[in-house]
Structure 1
Amino acid sequence: MTATPRQRKSRRGLILLVALVVAAAVGYFVKVRYYTTPAVTMMTASVARGSIEETVLATGQLRPVKLVAVGAQASGRITSLHVELGAQVKAGDLIAEIDSATQQNNLKTAEASLANIHAQRAEKEASLTLARQTLARQRDMASQNAVARADLESAEADVKTTEAQIASLDAQIESAEVEVETAKVNLGYTRITAPIDGTVLAIVSQAGQTVNASQSTPTIVVLGQLDTMTVRAEISEADIVHVKPGQKVYFTVIGDPEHRYDAALESIDPAPESIRSDAAIASSSSSSSSSTSSSSTSAIYYYGNFDVPNPDGSLRTYMTAEVNIVLGSAENVLTVPAAALGNRDRDGKYSVKVLNADGSTAERRVEIGLNDKVNAEVKSGLEEGDKVVTGEMTAAQRSASAASMRLGRGGGGPPPGM
């Protein structure tokens, strides 16, 4: 059956109406989904009294207050080792012995040479006595014109020659005595003794091993005094400007983070450790410029040093210390979360949003003192109990946070029966 013109017109109107309704629904969805500002909840915190401490963090290394590598100045085979790892030794205690046959023979040779020169001097002393007696007779005879002048002069020359020979032998005796002393010292080098009181931390050379001291001093053992430990803390160049000797420090070790060790910063090295290998000191300007450019890309650290007592020996060599250098501390002061701090102006004050009783917010300029990056000391601009805005969170963020907390508590599994 053919539709009438009125029916066709009515049908087109209905289709157009449906299209408009669909377009309106799509537009509303897009507006709500993409253009509607989500509800925002402000996160706040109260200004409260508390304690605050501002510190510089540094990583340090524990070392004995005295650390000595005991070496050998004599070459040869180690015949005996008299200490064990961890043994306590006193200064002068025998640590090791090196085969001393060569040094003993050198001492005997030096002593024999000295004895020979002494014998030569004794012979010349006898000759000098005879020459002086002869000279005396020649002078008596010359006074009576009973001897030729040449014989008198010859006798005088014999005396002077013998005296000169004795003087030469005296010098040789001094040299020979030095040789004997040197030989004795070299013989003493075959007995390695402890230079300090301490603990044997390492045994580098064993009995039966041959050491060669002609080019470098070989290490036999390493000794350290462990009753006091030195901490060398690496302080970054960004923090070093705030640090100075005398400031309080405390540290913990990885194995015992609950035990806090307190001390005071004693010194700061004037230059970083890298200066020891700075090529610019001994190379040409071209090579130094290249080394400087390469070193500038690495981090720069300065060492801060302080000692800490270690009576029970719980602190061990080369332990890692987590060091806190105290820049300042305050108790019973107004504090505010550091997250509430806004921009800082030229006067050093920070902008902080304060929540009013009616739900509105107002911005205040606040003077801040110590800041440990978690809380900050309020010197002026806020009162105890004020509510400050620390952040904002949308509904979607709140939902995500709640879901994350449920997962953290183990509640994020599928519902029963699934």
Structure 2
Amino acid sequence: MSKPALRKWIALGLALVVVGGLAWWLLAPAKPKAQFLTVAAKKADIESAVLATGALEAFQQVDVGAQVSGQIKSLKVDLGDSVKKGQLLAEIDPRLQQNDLKKAQATLNSTKAQKRAKEALLEQYRLEYQRQQTMNQADAGSRADLEKARAQLSSTQAELQVLDAQIAQAEIEVDTAQTNLGYTQITAPMDGVVIAVVTKEGQTVVSAQSAPTILILADLDTMTVKAEISEADVTKVQAGQKVYFTTLGEPDQRYYASLRNVEPAPTTVSDSASSSSSSSSSSSNTAIYYYGLFDVPNPGHRLRLSMTAQVHVVLAEAKDALSIPVSQLGKALGENRYEVAVLGKGRPERREITTGVRDNVNVQVLSGLSLGDKLVVGDNALQYTGDERRRRGPFGF
């Protein structure tokens, strides 16, 4: 091939290379531009709280029982009635107690009559002793008669002392009989509501060993919540902390109060106080709870006994605080300091923040961010491959 022809083919090849490179540059797809998914720092109310489940109980509840045996003659109240302290609730047939009172009174009267007879006899023996003393001084009587008169006088004085003791005992028996007769009239020991009628009218009660319960009164104007606080949380709570709860029937209605007390012993001890071995025999894999107690007013008796309460014991709270999602916290730097990724001029920037109160969703930001700052949640890094993705990192830097 001649030199002119060779140069021609070389020039043609170079032209094809240039045209091919230009076409590839013009037609090749553009590198994807990173697009970041962000979330903005905003204002929110944040609350750190201990959650617990509890039950509603009456602030005060009394089992009204019978202290004497007998048949229930009449019941004066029905289930659900409101009663006042001292109001008559029930009557026990009083005939046995009335007879006991009459017997005790008769014994007392008899003993007093015996005392009056002894007092008259004592006066007689005193006069006889004085007469024997006079005669003995005049050598007109025998010494034996004087000693007999003295013995009769002393003996009668001792018998009077015995009768005084018997009278005191008889008076106690009369008082006891009067008290037992009063027990046949069963009255309310407090203001409250009849929440249970255990014994029916006409039923016989026997109080030989224990006082049988006739009905149960409860003060429903104030309710007590017993919240079960786990052993993991009990060290965080203390008396005086703000607390609120909701019920299953009204999940949007909050009832606020202050924590009154946290019982020192676990619930197993409180619930099984009669069993001395309950606290020592609990299994190591059994959850341990402690009762936290607080009281709430109950106007209209809307809250009822044994309702389930979803309780929140507030540990800390921040109103209208600058906040971000807890999930956006990066590397922990200690002392409530964290690293976060903030979208700057088109790309993420590392920034250190200081946090405050947090809940399960949001955390308060005390410093390091401003309202509206955007935190990087993610980007289109999945479009990058190989060394480029590893170089850019999860947030593109």
Per the shorter chain, which TM-score range?
0.7 to 0.9
Matching of residue 162 in structure 1 with residue 150 in structure 2 = no
Which residue, out of 60, 66, 77, partners 1:66? 60
The corresponding residue for 2:26 is none
| TM superposition shift of 1:382 | 2.8
| TM superposition shift of 1:241 | 1.6
Mapped partners of 1:177, 1:348: distance in 2: 78
Q: Aligned residues, how many?
A: 350
Distance 1:276 1:327, change over 3 A: closer
Which residue, out of 309, 313, 323, partners 1:325? 313
Which residue, out of 109, 122, 125, partners 2:119? 125
Distance 1:277 1:313, change over 3 A: closer
> What secondary structure sits across from 1:241 in the alignment?
helix
Which residue, out of 208, 211, 214, partners 2:202? 208
Does structure 2 retain, via aligned residues, the 8 Å contact 1:75–1:210? yes
The corresponding residue for 1:383 is 370
Letter in 2 for 1:379: L
> What secondary structure sits across from 1:258 in the alignment?
coil
The corresponding residue for 2:27 is none
Distance 1:279 1:326, change over 3 A: closer
Which residue, out of 89, 110, 116, partners 1:116? 110
| TM superposition shift of 1:349 | 2.6
The corresponding residue for 1:14 is none
> What secondary structure sits across from 2:296 in the alignment?
strand
Does structure 2 retain, via aligned residues, the 8 Å contact 1:272–1:302? yes
Mapped partners of 1:41, 1:222: distance in 2: 70
Distance 1:233 1:155, change over 3 A: same
**Structure 1: gaps spanning 5 or more residues:** 1-39, 396-418
Bigger drift between 137-146 and 99-108 goes to 99-108
Distance 1:84 1:280, change over 3 A: closer
| TM superposition shift of 1:49 | 2.3
| TM superposition shift of 1:363 | 4.1
Does structure 1 retain, via aligned residues, the 8 Å contact 2:268–2:279? no
Matching of residue 313 in structure 1 with residue 307 in structure 2 = no
Does structure 1 retain, via aligned residues, the 8 Å contact 2:340–2:351? yes
Mapped partners of 2:103, 2:223: distance in 1: 48
Q: How does 1:252-263 map onto structure 2 within 5 Å?
A: 252-263=246-257
Percent identity over the alignment is 50
Distance 1:80 1:166, change over 3 A: same
The corresponding residue for 1:198 is 192
The corresponding residue for 1:372 is 359
Mapped partners of 1:340, 1:169: distance in 2: 94
| TM superposition shift of 1:278 | 7.2
Bigger drift between 97-106 and 148-157 goes to 97-106
Mapped partners of 2:148, 2:130: distance in 1: 12
Which residue, out of 37, 56, 65, partners 2:50? 56
Distance 1:306 1:276, change over 3 A: closer
CA RMSD of aligned residues (A): 2.7
Matching of residue 184 in structure 1 with residue 195 in structure 2 = no
**Structure 2: gaps spanning 5 or more residues:** 1-33, 383-397
| TM superposition shift of 1:94 | 1.0
Q: How does 1:338-353 map onto structure 2 within 5 Å?
A: 338-353=326-341
Distance 1:149 1:348, change over 3 A: same
Q: How does 1:5-404 map onto structure 2 within 5 Å?
A: 43-276=37-270, 282=276, 291-292=281-282, 294=283, 296-359=284-347, 361-390=348-377
Q: Deviations over 1:308-344 (max 9, x none)?
A: 2222222222222222222122223210011212454
| TM superposition shift of 1:394 | 9.6
Does structure 1 retain, via aligned residues, the 8 Å contact 2:269–2:279? no
The corresponding residue for 2:3 is none
Mapped partners of 1:212, 1:392: distance in 2: 82
Distance 1:103 1:41, change over 3 A: farther
Distance 1:390 1:97, change over 3 A: farther
> What secondary structure sits across from 1:257 in the alignment?
coil
| TM superposition shift of 1:345 | 4.5
Q: What TM-score do the two structures reach when normalised by structure 2?
A: 0.81
Distance 1:341 1:217, change over 3 A: farther
Bigger drift between 198-207 and 58-67 goes to 58-67
Letter in 2 for 1:68: V
Letter in 2 for 1:367: T
Does structure 2 retain, via aligned residues, the 8 Å contact 1:234–1:302? yes
> What secondary structure sits across from 2:100 in the alignment?
helix
